[in-house]
Structure 1
Amino acid sequence: MTRISTTPDRSTCAPSRAARELELKRREFDLAVNLGLIRTVPDEGGGGRHVARAEIDRLRSGDGFPGALRERVATAGTAEGAELMGVAPTRFTSLARYGLLVPVTFCLNRYRTVVWLYLAEELRQFAAERSNARLLTARRTPLEIREGVKAGMDRRPRNWRGRHVGFLTRQAGDDPWAHAAAVASLLDPADVADVVQDPEERARLARSRPRFPVHGTPGSPTAELAETLMTASEPDEVAWFRADLAHTMETARRHDHETKAPSPAPPSASESPTSPPAPRLGSRLLVSPRITRSAAECPASSPAPAAKRPAPSGCTPPQGLLSRLRRRSRRPAG
């Protein structure tokens, strides 16, 4: 009688187990994965992404573990961030609403108030940059920032979305459908249906949709607020995501066409005997390199790397603000 082994696969770990072995809270672990500090691999059983045992061993053997890893994923809210940068919380909020400080994640407190969190390492770097000194030390916040905030400007949600889509596309790896699903996940379903009109393709996008953090019970006011924050809302931002979805869908369709193209039918008896058969290598048909080359080799249609992806209009503050502030600071007094 053949004995079937029931020993679980020890070569990878589920996220919860990996977080414990790396001495990270689950929120810290998820952020480390988003930032590319922890590499993950697809689970062969379709249960999400796992962490290879070799990756855990690599991180645990690093200098300063676990403190060094924790420091790289340390986040700060408004009060702690203002203290790190040596400014008042009101000024910190103004800089963030104007788009000069980009949140890395968010949470909702029990009062359903959005708490934006920033990488502590990035805040320290911003404060250490000499070109930002006037923004932090001037007696008053620059006029352009004050007027923008007074008019209700708040770039934090869209800046988070712009950053998060980069996280998602990095995790998508070489899967073009996962790339398209990452973009679609930040659009309203009506916009997705308008761009992707084939129901089967939309179902495939839904199956590849990345998992988002859960905020509250589904259907609750808290969950609805979180969904609003995770959905593109401003017209130019929506237009940018729609165009990116159309582009990534073209790449996914072309990938399917190139990898699943049916083999040609064998020549019939009625064909001319003088017509030479199509050249073959083994059992594969040799066709034009223009058709067989992969999507990654087609610069005119392949998606740009996440790091070079064009930012949606408005995700960064108006050009020239910092340079004008620096010019003003160099003018002679009096």
Structure 2
Amino acid sequence: MKREEFQLAVQLGFVRTVPGAMPGTAEGAADPTRRRVARSEIERLTKAPDFPEGLRERVRSVGTSEGAQLLSISKERFARLARTGHFSPVRFYVNRYRAVVWLYPAAELGEFALTHPGLLTGRLPLDVRIRADGGEDWRPRNWRARRLGMLLRASGDPWVRTAAIASLLDPVQLAEVVDDPFERAYLDRFRPAPPSWRPTTPAAREIADRLLLADDPDEILWHRMSLALALDEARADRQAPWPGAPPPGGHPLAPPGSILAALGVPMPATAPLGLPATAPATLPSPAPAVRPQTALPGGDAAGPVPGPAPTGPASSGPASSGPASSGPASSGPAPAGLAGGPMSPGEASLGPASPGPASLGTASAGPARPPGGIRPPGRRTRRSLLDRLRGRKEVRSRPGG
């Protein structure tokens, strides 16, 4: 089979797949985003009496002209039935005129001819004519629904299923339903890849990308509600990771100093990166900054305005009894206190002293998710589905909303 035929067979459910192994794992952990065909499924398909012609015929797709010939109707009638949602396309492509060409499964068209013979002859029903004349086009919506069904059947992981629903909404709609940025980032990890047959040219790809997102208001509302319900199920299964959370193994990473202290190895105190362990003996004092004289409104010239007091080297003598300077702290080299040693009274403290070996004996517990309903710092409080719907109703009820 060709690659396109095999992909259609998987999408239509004729070939069953299972989660593939995650690359780089010796244990063979399942990766919900990768699918493969089991050997037993290949044996089942090859043992069929009509293999491979029968499978090729079941996945054969036709356009409007060939589909109209298959149903023995005109192309206009076929297009009206397709726009009103009587059969769903399985694929599309953008031709050189930037027009979307829809493809339909030939097997489903044959079943439609057997189950709805009244729609193939005579005058179309009134409701079908009204919908067709009103400009309805259900082909993009039906194709998205078919693709979503395939994605939901392909995985049982709640977060993967939620990401499949979220892929049908634009970023603005998604942010209104999933107000937690960490959850949106987690859903983006499981976002399904676009179809491999998507156009490559920029103009055609832009048209295809628009067809991937829901555009009808009823369809958007349906997917928003589905996403909110699926998100509640995913949260009940497990929480989305956030920065500082322990790895999936369950044990938080301990600081390096706590490991050395547990082994009884003293850890020498070091200065912060980029700062020397000890301050030099003498530092040159910068010249005081003097602003130029400016004329006052009365005509008198203002005297020179002295700049901030120079910060010289740390002195070991008695401290000055003058008022404390309100200028910025000196950014000179680190004093000896940062290296773990005692600080002299004249030295200016640039930060807390580094802990010595004695303070490394207690291993600090790694970051863990706050218990209960406490949210990590920076995360917004989740709203229930009812609160979100109420907020949406209030926005619509505002004047000019």
* TM-score under structure 1 length normalisation: 0.66
**Structure 2 counterpart of 1:35, from 4, 8, 12:** 12
Greater RCO structure (CA 8 Å; 6+ sep): 1
Amino acid at match of 1:135: L
Q: Is the counterpart of residue 193 in structure 1 residue 175 in structure 2? A: yes
Offset of 1:43 from its aligned partner? 2.5
Matched residue, 2:289: none
- Correspondences of 1:57-206 after superposition (within 5 Å): 57-129=43-115, 132-138=116-122, 140-172=123-155, 174-206=156-188
SS at structure 2 position matched to 1:43: strand
Deviation of the 1:254 alpha carbon: 0.3
C-alpha deviation, 1:80, in angstroms: 0.8
Q: Deviations over 1:44-83 (max 9, x none)?
A: 2158222223322221222211011111111111111111
Structure 1 position 93, deviation (Å): 0.4
RMSD of equivalent CA atoms: 2.3
In 2, Cα distance between equivalents of 1:89 and 1:234: 26
For 2:7 and 2:136, how far apart are their aligned partners in 1?
A: 29
Is 2:59–2:105's contact at 8 Å kept on the other side of the alignment? yes
In the alignment, residue 182 of structure 1 is paired with which amino acid?
A: A
| CA–CA distance in structure 1, aligned partners of residues 129 and 110 of structure 2 | 23
Q: 2:41 maps to what in 1? A: 55
CA offset at residue 181 of structure 1?
A: 0.7
In 1, Cα distance between equivalents of 2:40 and 2:47:
11
Q: Once the 2 structures are TM-superposed, how far is the Cα of residue 166 of structure 1 from its aligned partner? A: 0.8
Query: Are the counterparts in 1 of residues 93 and 199 from structure 2 also a CA contact under 8 Å?
Result: no
The Cα shift of 1:186 comes to 1.0
**SS of equivalent to 2:168:** coil
Change beyond 3 A, Cα 1:27–1:256: same
Q: CA deviation at 1:41?
A: 2.4
Q: Answer yes or no: is the 8 Å Cα contact 2:89–2:143 preserved in 1.
A: yes
Give distance in 2, aligned partners of 1:55 and 1:136: 38
Structure with the largest fraction of helix: 1
Amino acid at match of 2:52: P
Cα offset for 1:236?
1.1
Rounded to whole Å, the distance in 1 between the matches of 2:41 and 2:126 is: 49
1:181-330 to 2 correspondences below 5 Å: 181-214=163-196, 215-217=198-200, 220-256=202-238
Aligned-partner residue type, residue 216 of structure 1: P
Segments of structure 1 that go 5 or more residues without pairing to the other structure are: 1-23, 264-334
Letter in 2 for 1:41: V
Alpha-carbon spacing, 1:91–1:52, altered in 2? closer, same or farther (3 Å) = same
CA–CA distance in structure 2, aligned partners of residues 191 and 216 of structure 1: 26
Structure 2: how far apart are the matches of 1:39 and 1:128?
27
Q: Secondary structure at the match of 2:159?
A: helix
Alpha-carbon deviation of 1:137? 1.0
Q: Report how far residue 141 of structure 1 moved.
A: 3.0
User: Secondary structure, in 3 states, of the residue corresponding to 1:137?
Assistant: coil
- Structure 1, residues 70-117: CA drift from partner, whole Å, max 9, x if none? 111111111111111110111000011111122122222222211111
TM-score (norm 2): 0.55
Partners of 2:173 and 2:9 lie apart in 1 by 31
- Describe the SS at the equivalent of 2:118: helix
Cα distance in 1, alignment partners of residues 229 and 97 from structure 2 = 40
Query: Structure 1 counterpart of 2:213, which letter?
Result: T
User: Once the 2 structures are TM-superposed, how far is the Cα of residue 163 of structure 1 from its aligned partner?
Assistant: 1.9
User: Once the two structures are aligned, what percentage of the paired residues are identical?
Assistant: 49
Q: Which SS does the other structure have where 2:226 is aligned?
A: helix
Tell me the CA shift for residue 145 of structure 1. Answer: 2.3
Spell out, residue by residue over 1:186-245, the C-alpha distance to the aligned partner (whole angstroms, 9 max, x if none): 111211111111122111111111122142337x12111111111101111101001101
Taking the aligned partners of 1:199 and 1:99, their CA distance within structure 2 comes to 37
Please give the alpha-carbon distance, in whole angstroms, between the structure 2 residues aligned to 1:66 and 1:36. Answer: 16
Residue matched to 2:3: 26
